[in-house]
Amino acid sequence: MPGQLNPPQSDEILAAIVRDSDDAILSKTLDAVITSWNPGAERMYGYTAAEVIGKPVSILAPTDLANDIDSIMARIKMGERVHHYETVRKHKDGHLLDVSLTVSPIRDGQGRIVGASAIARDITAQRQAERDWEERMSHLAYHDPLTGLPNRLLFNDRLAQALTTARRHGGKLAVIFADLNNFKSINDTLGHSVGDALLQAIANSLVACLRSIDTVSRHGGDEFVILLSEINHTSDTAKAVQKIAASIETVHRVGPHDLKVTTSIGISIYPDHGLTGEGLVNKADAAMYRAKSGLGTKYEFAG
């Protein structure tokens, strides 16, 4: 009829879908040589069609994943369709992409497999978000949420490792239990937000005064437990305890407040005071309570 528009043919519709897709769509021979390349592939991988058509699809894969392509093509040759296969591909500039691939056989008019089509979706942002979440959950499982210090679980794990090393080499280690003496009065008079900020300041001060091989942990409330993983003599521990006490009892600036607390410290040494992690922590805890009977900052060794 006059004025009637001709509807688009199916080939035209398919070509428009491929052209306008946000996904990378390409075809390749059974030898994995690229034969077509849509604009989505150019955006995703950075190569123009002229740069990749006639090239092996392996240019898109990291060197250690060359067998990944061989495995996919072997399945295609058997007539399989590979659904949502997650792997890693390489951008023209060298950075890596997490991708989800769907690869399908291409058949000729007689049903023979003559090539493969591939649809690739960039899932890098999604996978990074998942990795960040998993890392955060793992960190929260092993760290105190207020101070960021290792919690009891991580401390016990590091203590167990340090004990294994000490037993193997005939070494010594120390467990130090530090309790803040007048922290409750700060919480009661200035509020929990100030108390929390003070705990964070003390945590940072403790980390700064110790070696990287040592572990400072918060066991809850106003208690800090410290592992000195390698010591030579008891006198080394006494020097470390003096540094710990000084870092705690220094004046900490919290908002408009200059705050100072004292501490009571208990110390146990492997193997002098115990052979197990639990025993060493319990003896350091008991020694700390003996130290609390005095005034000001004071420390006691386990009996």
Spatial distance between the Cα atoms of 178 and 284, rounded to a whole number of angstroms: 9
Question: What token pair was written down for 53?
Answer: 């058509």
Question: Rounded to an integer, what is the distance from CA 37 to the centroid of its chain?
Answer: 37
Q: Is 222 in the active site?
A: yes
- Please tell me the total number of residues recorded for the chain in this structure: 303
Spatial distance between the Cα atoms of 84 and 69, rounded to a whole number of angstroms: 14
- Pairing assessment for the beta strands 96-107 and 82-90 based on DSSP bridges: antiparallel
Of 23, 92, 95, which Cα lies nearest the Cα of 59? Answer: 92
Spatial distance between the Cα atoms of 148 and 5, rounded to a whole number of angstroms: 68
Peptide bond into 271 cis (omega under 30): yes
Spatial distance between the Cα atoms of 174 and 215, rounded to a whole number of angstroms: 11
What is the DSSP code (8-state) at residue 255?
T
Give me the helix-helix angle, 124-142 and 152-169, nearest 10°.
70
Question: Is residue 109 packed enough to be buried (19+ CB in 10 Å), middle (13-18) or exposed (0-12)?
Answer: exposed
Spatial distance between the Cα atoms of 18 and 26, rounded to a whole number of angstroms: 9
Write down the catalytic residue from 23, 98, 222, 285.
222
The DSSP element (H or E) to which 38 belongs, if any, is none
Catalytic amino acids? 222
